[in-house]
Chains A and B, each alone.
Chain A
Amino acid sequence: MTDGAELDPVIHAQARLRVVSALSVLREEDKVTFPRLQDSLRMTAGNLSVHLRKLEDAGYVEVTKTHQGRTPATFVRLTRRGRLAFEQYQDTLQALLNPSHPTAPPATHKRTEGSPSLEETP
């Protein structure tokens, strides 16, 4: 059983990992404005929207459009499912980094490369 070593393909893209990491700072039920998130991640609005849509499709983030007075405002939060996926992703990274970690997949063979690679694209 090597499932433990598989990295979630939704998060396993640099841009989406960055989005989810930033959102993980917020407490459950807290949301951040789209412009603040965009600013913090140094992404273009279009780029961030594309990745948010993918994360939304996976049920990892929730995007709420509302109004602050007359100006439209968009808020983003990590769902419980997204938080779980992120935590699991982190655990897997830790396990890859340190195979003696309790959550590591059974290390049957000595790894030949210097450090484990993550290059297996989804």
Chain B
Amino acid sequence: MEPIDDDEPLGSPADSLALIARERANLVRDIAPDPRLMYWPWGIAWLLGFGLLFLRFGPDGRVFVDLPAWLPLTLLSLSFIAAGAVTGAVGARSAMQTRGPSSRQGLMYGLTWGIAFFGMSLLFAQFGNAMPDDQLSLLWAGGLVALTGALHMAGGVIWNDRQLFILGAWTSVINMAGVLAGPGWHSLIVAIAGGGGMLLFGLLGWLKRR
């Protein structure tokens, strides 16, 4: 028919099966968002933001590093906004490559994160003067980390993704441990176990699909 040499059949069944596996892996890699871009911004934001929070507002009012009081929370908020922007853009770009039930699911899941975080922040913002600062920051941090854990578990349910479910459950459990340990400790636990968990998750996801 037309002189295209890749119109030729392959030599052996093993070659054909290898070709099938290769092209399947290629398209998955091309349309699914890079796990590093989806989880590392959050891992870094948690490690940095909660780490500084711990150093400035340690357990029992201890100050390990005498940073300006406004700095840790400002950096935490900014790094969350930056991480949200990166993952939102990467997720949206990936969703644009396809159309159908899967990209609709992705869009709804993304919107769920945005709406749920906004709603919870709005609620917490009403308590600005109702409690001491260390309890207030535990309310904010504990609430938002709990929400993150729940949404990751829900993601695991939606995509039948065991690893994502485990990340969510892990985040939820370390959050509970931090809440019980109290202000200061919560920041340390979330920074290391929570932020580290997300960095590891992004790495494992990337290694799996390479």
A84 within 8 A of B: no
Give Cα distance in the complex from A48 to B105, angstroms. 29
Residues of B within 8 A of A116 (CB): 12-13
B177 CB to nearest A CB, Å: 38
Encode contact with B along A59-74: 1 for CB under 8 Å, 0 otherwise: 0000000000000000
Which A74-122 residues have a C-beta within 8 angstroms of B? 75, 77, 90, 93-94, 96-97, 115-119, 121-122
Residues of A within 8 A of B4 (CB): 15, 47, 50
- The proximity string for A residues 12-25 relative to B, scoring 1 for CB distances below 8 Å and 0 otherwise, is 11110110011111
- Find out whether the CB atom of B100 lies under 8 angstroms from the CB atom of A77: yes
Report which A residues bind B (CB closer than 8 A): 7, 12-15, 17-18, 21-27, 29-33, 36-37, 39-41, 47, 50, 75, 77, 90, 93-94, 96-97, 115-119, 121-122
A27 to B14, CA, bound (A): 25
Taking a contact as CB atoms closer than 8 A, the residue among A32, A47, A117 that contacts B11 in the complex is A117
Distance between B93 CB and nearest chain A CB, rounded to angstroms: 11
Decide yes or no whether B7 CB sits under 8 A from chain A: yes
Q: Measured between alpha carbons, how far is A118 from B9 in the docked complex, in Å?
A: 7
Give me 22 A-to-B residue pairs in the complex whose CB atoms sit less than 8 angstroms apart, sorted by A's number: A12-B9, A13-B7, A15-B6, A15-B7, A17-B10, A23-B27, A25-B31, A26-B98, A26-B100, A30-B100, A31-B99, A40-B23, A41-B26, A47-B6, A75-B99, A77-B100, A117-B12, A118-B9, A118-B11, A118-B13, A119-B9, A122-B9
Q: B19 to A17, Cβ gap below 8 A?
A: yes
Q: Taking the nearest CB of chain A, how far is it from the CB of B107, in angstroms?
A: 13
Cβ-defined contact, B8 with A14, below 8 A = yes
Interface of B, helix, strand, loop or mixed by DSSP: helix
The listed residue (B7, B27, B101) touching A32 by CB distance below 8 A is: B27
Shortest C-beta distance, A31 to chain B (Å), equals 5
Are B13 and A97 touching (Cβ within 8 A)? Answer: yes
Most B C-beta atoms less than 10 A away, residue of A23, A24, A93, A96: A93
- Least CB separation from B2: chain A residue: A50
